[in-house]
Structure 1
Amino acid sequence: MNTFVDICLSPFQEFLFMRHALVACFALALGCGPVGMLLVLRRMSLMGDALSHAVLPGAAIGFLVSGLSLYSMTIGGIVVGLLVALIAGLVSRYTSLREDASFAALYLVSIAVGVLIISLRGTNVDLIHVLFGTILAVDDPALILVASITSLTLFTLAFIYRPLLVECFDPDYLKSVGGHGGAMHSLFLVLVVLNLVAGFTALGTLMAVGMLMLPAASAHFWGNQYWTTSLVAVCIAMFSGYCGLLLSYHFNLPTGPSIILVAGGCYLFSLVFGRKGSLLSRYQPGSHLTG
């Protein structure tokens, strides 16, 4: 029993950097869970992936100006991420191209520009740092940034989640009662970008979207209500962060990919054994009666 406790707790008791990483994972989970669930409900999962790559050129510009500076890369990521979201919205509004297609086109350009900018000044190590993150190097300023973005996300969602949910299922009704669906959609995209930037500071651009989408996709198989499934998504994200850190520590594995692979395992488990819409639930006796 003591050996099991040592395996699960000793890394966090002995090393400050492990405690910092765990707190960062928990803070990310609190913000990414509710936002990820809204992306799933609004059928915008791939848009979240596109925005995560759109952050890269801004972070690269920040890197070009100040090196691996947390604040310059964060500000650059936020500005360019919001700019890409704005351009994609304008393209879909004034042309025949759908918003998801415009996001896909812009994110491909964005990731190419970002990698090119980093390559101009940095090394392969710098490129790997930006793409895959170094969560074990999270310090107090990074924790404050992640916690601030998470707090802002939760407070904002507490005020606007009702119109966001109505727009998911009946946008015409929201428009008829003057619900400002366009403004709500834009504000939601701002929250998505902010949470992707928070994830970028810890997990890198390629891994950040995994923390945003995999727990939400997993939670979809366990609940029926938004806040219920959001809570499940938060718990899965926290579990993934904790187990991923342990796997990384004990088996000397890359930390970010370990966390995302645990989240992927949770998704596969939910896909098979979840209580709502999973493979197993569809083949249970009487499942055809419940639709």
Structure 2
Amino acid sequence: MDHFLDKSHGRFGFSANETPALKISPGTGETIGFETSDEVYAQLHEFRDMEKLTVGINPVTGPVYVEGAQPGDALAVTIHEIRLKDRGWSVSLPGSGALQHVMGQEMFTRRVPIDDDGVHVTSRHTFAPSPMIGCIGTAPAEGSNSTIMPSTPQGGNMDLVQCRPGSTVYLPVMVEGAYLSIGDIHAIMAEGESSFVAIEAEGIAVVSVDVVKGMALRAPRVETADEWIFVGLGNPVQESITRGYEDMFAFLVDGHGWDRGDAYAVMSAVGHSQLGGPTGSADPDPLHPFSAVGAVTIHRLPKAVLASGD
């Protein structure tokens, strides 16, 4: 890799008020390694007590200032590789996730070895790694966005399995330089992240960055080898679904010149929708900080329809 940011550059918010850890020129193909930290999970495993933590939850490494990025543009962040280390963590935080009621108020933690054989989730279950980036985003126009919840139009803790090697994540630019940060690597994670804390793992995400001028986005997008994925954010969930589908429709009609009726019919046939990560789209109740408000949804369009539709 051409540049490396170690985990000492971890921050607990997405903000343009932070001093950039690195400045780069876009579109050069140069790669940047973002090292993430699992220290909070190691401490939870040791202490089983949130009150004893000496570090914050879910830091992101950065920020990276991208020269030439201006409000109204988009960052195109291509994920080339995610290098895992030798361990991951399964943790149940009381009051979080879809399984909070069955797991109860006692904290559960498990150290998960990672080696050449795979990710050893139990003594009987070893899975092939499927690493992805849980938290990726740019700075808001003002203030700071959380690295935990909610997800925002600039990204954040979206927890999408599609943010994996081979994908390109498109993020809105709200401030000059964009201020890109990355954290929360997972060794493997089921879609929807039922546990709120999946198999978290320290690692290094290797990416390259470009700027797409004039690509004004109201929410992130992800391009995989086979699909375009549009992130919907809204409260209630139906608003999230509507916004994601509207962005897909505009992509076809405004971006690719499709007839409105063609876009409508094709989307009804192959434009799939599902829940994304569990972090919600609006600020949570301070008394229930891990209870999501609103929803993150994803809307998947096969790339194959573009070849036959343009």
Q: Identify which of structures 1 and 2 has the higher relative contact order when contacts are C-alpha pairs closer than 8 Å and 6+ apart.
A: 1
Q: Is the strand fraction higher in 1 or 2?
A: 2
TM-score, normalised with respect to structure 2: 0.26
